[in-house]
Amino acid sequence: MEKIRKFISNKNVSSSYKNYCAIIGGAPSKGARSPKLWNKAFKKYKIKNNMIALDVNKKNLPKLLKALDKDKNFIGGCITVPHKEKVSSWLKNRLTRTSKKIGAVNCLFRDKKGNLMGTNTDGEAALKSFKNTFGTIGKKKILLLGPGGAGKAVASYFSNEIINKRNLVIVGRTEISKNFSKQIRAQWINFKKLKRLSLKDFQIVINCTSIGFGKDVNKTPINLQDFKTVKRNTLVFDIIYKPLKTKFLRLAKKNKAKILNGLDMNLRQAVIAFGYTNKKLKSNSITLKYMRSA
């Protein structure tokens, strides 16, 4: 623990046990849900381990990862904004097959040889949460905003569910997101051209941007005038869970859309990630029950 303190900005960090897990991001100590969920499960399973939050900036991230990699008491954990893609790049080939395609990780774990590995549980969790609420996707046309670290994972899993890959339209800003969209055979448009789209053509709209969270809590990627063109009962999913009802979802609800926030997705990705890090715990249904009570 002492060797990692110089790389993080929240200095008063300690683990109750020799082994520990961590959530790593820009500022997870200021409200990330994972420590509460994981520590509840550790307590229920009577495992001597706990999760801590590590706030780290872009400059110190590689140094922190190197220190954690060498610390065998660190068994894994979660990666959150804005480091999911950066951690994926740092790990290079130490990635699961799925996360290699996505290019972003939100989970770290040790393999059988003790090597630190990365994977992504966002997409699987998002799809499960969506289907549990709204049912199958089938021929529905999807508009996905923000193919960043989480957005790429969500896009990959939703792309696998639709009959026609071109029914997935991804709205991004970079050449990287454009190339990613091409890889999964989805359509791509620049955010600047979002207003040219007719939202009434889509049965599903998904926000994977951070607009509506943190300093952007009072903003929305789609304004009221554009939401007025959304058809009644359109399925609108915002992967943000804090606040539970973003401005994006409030506008969608106002225009008679069916809405879903990211709370259940966040819970499910934590359950899946917990299983990667704690390999002996195969029953995700039990872990889900424990974490749901946190």
Give φ, ψ of 15 to 5 degrees. -110, 140
Q: How far apart are CA 211 and CA 56, in angstroms?
A: 21
Catalytic residue among 6, 58, 84, 192: 84
Tell me the chain's radius of gyration from C-alpha atoms: 19
113-133 burial, b at 16+ Cβ within 10 Å, e below that, comes to: eeebbbbbbbbbbbbbbbeee
Locus of tokens 């609420």: 133
User: Which pair of tokens denotes residue 203?
Assistant: 């049965």
- Parallel/antiparallel/unpaired status of strands 107-110 and 74-79: antiparallel
Question: Residue 93: which region, alpha, beta or left (left: phi > 0; alpha: psi -120 to 50)?
Answer: alpha
Q: C-alpha distances in angstroms, 101 versus 53, 120, 184, 226, 233? A: 27, 10, 9, 33, 33
Cα 43 to Cα 14: distance, rounded to the nearest angstrom: 17
Angle, CA 153 vertex, CA 147 and CA 158 arms, to 5°? 95
Task: Say if residues 116 and 110 touch (Cβ distance below 8 Å).
Answer: yes
Please check whether residue 79 is in contact with residue 249, taking contact to mean a CB–CB distance below 8 angstroms: no
Using an 8 Å Cβ cutoff, are 216 and 240 in contact?
no
Note if 84 is an active site residue. yes
What residues are labeled active site? 84
